[in-house]
Amino acid sequence: MATRAMRFIEAARKPVPEGTYAIGAGLLVAGLSAYGFQILSFRQLDEAQYNALNGLWVMVFVVAPGVFQPIEQEVARAVSHRRAQGIGAAPLVKRAAVLGGGLALFVTLASLIGAGPLVSNLFHGNWMLLVGLLIAIAAYYCAHLTRGTLAGNGRFGPYGLMHGTEGIVRVVACGALVALGVSSPGPFGLALALPPFVAVAVSLRGQKRLLVPGPSAPYSELSTALGWLLLGSVLAQALSYAGFLGATLLATPAQKPLVGKFIAGLFIARIPILLFQAVQAALLPKLAEHAGAGRHADFRAGLRTLMLIVTAVGAIGILGGFTVAPWAGKVLFGQKFILGHRDLGLLAVGSAAFILALTVAQGLIALRGYQAAAFAWVAGIVGFVGVTAVGKDLFLRVELGFAAGSLCAAAVMAIAITAKLRGGLGDVADLVAVIEHETLEV
């Protein structure tokens, strides 16, 4: 009994993963800064220009996290695992830098090849926004590699500082453009793309022994299924912004001005996702440490804690969406904000289901269900398209589609992980071998 009581006391002392508060503070600043950027640009630019700017915003935050987040998470996991074993990780980080650089080059070339349709359909003819996209690809390649290295070394303070610095620099630059009376989206696009470079420089200042020499690292140490992880990550990011992308494609010429107002509401409904990121970013290195040390009970406890947090965050988000969110939208974005309780409530349902899908995905991937996780995100995209194809109300169809797509992804993952768990996890050695390949989706 005494031992059990001590476990409860220890759990109460550490209710969330190590690093959650440091990273959470950085993400809070970054999130508030993102809203500041959106509010200032929403009030400064006309509807067409604001839509074009958000075309860049969505491209950046679908492509950059979708492509580079798996690299960050695999670096964090593998570096943390090496650190737990007293092994230097410099060769591993260098290997990841080469791999990430190749991905950045591929995405850059793809963007240049598709530049015409991209600028015409998403950037409303503004070529400066394409320049912003290319800069952002390089910036976030550096940023995600740095974040993974910091997180794997347990440097959660600099990790959080990096997020906060990026957001502050971005909103300050945006404020300066507003003060100067700039009314073109191009400079705002540069204000979006350049801050990660500043954040990397600030976060690395004074950091020592991040790259400790060690044994060589084959690519397989990062992951044996990185292709499936990348596919799942890109699809997850696409689903997270599917509402905006769907509204952009489906809007008639008369409805085009409404799309910018829709994404303002989407940002309010995405608050639960921002809160979730703080927890999952700190959880991965901690789980990897537990795995490297064979502490499978601690690993299970960490996953249970995450599920409780996700449930609470999602419920709060849905309640806020159906109640105070429209009022908050008008306060922040002004009287041009037009989304009501139904719109924001459904978007909050979609966000809650989305973070649930992310949480189930991490358990599935921990059991080496890489393909199943990717197929689940495919099911989410198919669910979104299928529901969105029905109906005529522009906002309602994409809102229902977002909720349905997220629920489809979570359901398919739940079915797959249930099938995996029925076979059992094996002994401790098998469990450690499984977790060594874990990653999280964002």
Ordered DSSP codes for 222-271: H-S-HHHHHHHHHHHHHHHTHHHHHHHHH--TTTHHHHHHHHHHHHHHTH
Looking at the structure of the chain, the number of domains it has is 2
Q: Is residue 3 part of a domain?
A: no
Q: What angle do CA 59, 62, 64 make, to 5 degrees?
A: 90
Buried b (16+ CB within 10 A) or exposed e, 151-166: bbbbbbbbbbbbbbbb
240 CB contacts (<8 Å, ≥6 apart)? 62, 270, 273, 354
Q: Residues 255, 211: one domain?
A: no
Looking at residue 167, its pLDDT comes to: 92
Q: Residues 218, 252: one domain?
A: no
Q: Residues 52, 107: one domain?
A: yes
Structure confidence at residue 214 as a pLDDT band (50, 70, 90): confident
Of 222, 257, 283, which marks where a domain is finished?
Answer: 222
**What would the two tokens of residue 392 be?**
């005529």
Q: How far apart are CA 151 and CA 157, in angstroms?
A: 9
Q: At what angle do helices 20-44 and 185-193 cross, to 10 degrees?
A: 170
Q: Residues 268, 189: one domain?
A: no
* 343 touches 260 (CB < 8 A): no
Q: Residues 139, 286: one domain?
A: no
**What would the two tokens of residue 48 be?**
């067409």
- The single-letter DSSP state of residue 205 is T
Q: Is residue 10 part of a domain?
A: no
Given a cut of 80, whether residue 436 has pLDDT beyond it is no
Looking at residue 13, its pLDDT comes to: 44
* 356 touches 410 (CB < 8 A): yes
Chain segment 363-391, per-residue pLDDT in tens? 677 666 788 889 999 999 999 999 999 88
Q: Is residue 82 part of a domain?
A: yes
Q: Residues 426, 347: one domain?
A: yes
Given a cut of 80, whether residue 203 has pLDDT beyond it is yes
Closest CA to 55 of 134, 122, 129: 122
Q: Is residue 6 part of a domain?
A: no
Of 171, 205, 222, which marks where a domain is finished?
Answer: 222
Q: Is 269 left (phi over 0), alpha (psi -120 to 50) or beta?
A: alpha
Q: How far apart are CA 261 and CA 247, in angstroms?
A: 11
Q: Residues 180, 237: one domain?
A: no
441 CB contacts (<8 Å, ≥6 apart)? 69, 232, 233, 236, 358, 361, 362, 365, 373
CA dist 409 → 239, 391, 405, 415 (Å): 10, 22, 6, 10
- Tell me which residue range forms the domain holding 42: 17-222
Given a cut of 90, whether residue 103 has pLDDT beyond it is yes
pLDDT average, residue stretch 336-348:
85
More confident residue, 218 or 381: 381
Q: Is residue 72 part of a domain?
A: yes
Q: Residues 257, 158: one domain?
A: no
Looking at residue 152, its pLDDT comes to: 85
- The CA-to-CA distance between both ends of the chain, in Å, stands at 40
Q: Residues 114, 163: one domain?
A: yes
- The single-letter DSSP state of residue 391 is -
pLDDT average, residue stretch 201-222:
81
Closest CA to 61 of 242, 219, 247, 188: 242
Q: Residues 213, 355: one domain?
A: no
How many CA within 13 A on the CB side of residue 323? 6
**What would the two tokens of residue 269 be?**
């409904």
Of 222, 245, 260, which marks where a domain is finished?
Answer: 222
More confident residue, 325 or 432: 325
Q: Residues 280, 261: one domain?
A: yes
Q: Is residue 203 part of a domain?
A: yes
Q: Structure pTM? A: 0.80
Looking at residue 104, its pLDDT comes to: 95
273 CB contacts (<8 Å, ≥6 apart)? 240, 351, 354, 355
Q: Is residue 411 part of a domain?
A: yes
Given a cut of 80, whether residue 223 has pLDDT beyond it is no
pLDDT average, residue stretch 105-111:
95
Q: Residues 302, 429: one domain?
A: yes
Q: Is residue 103 part of a domain?
A: yes
- Cβ count near 70 (within 10 Å): 30
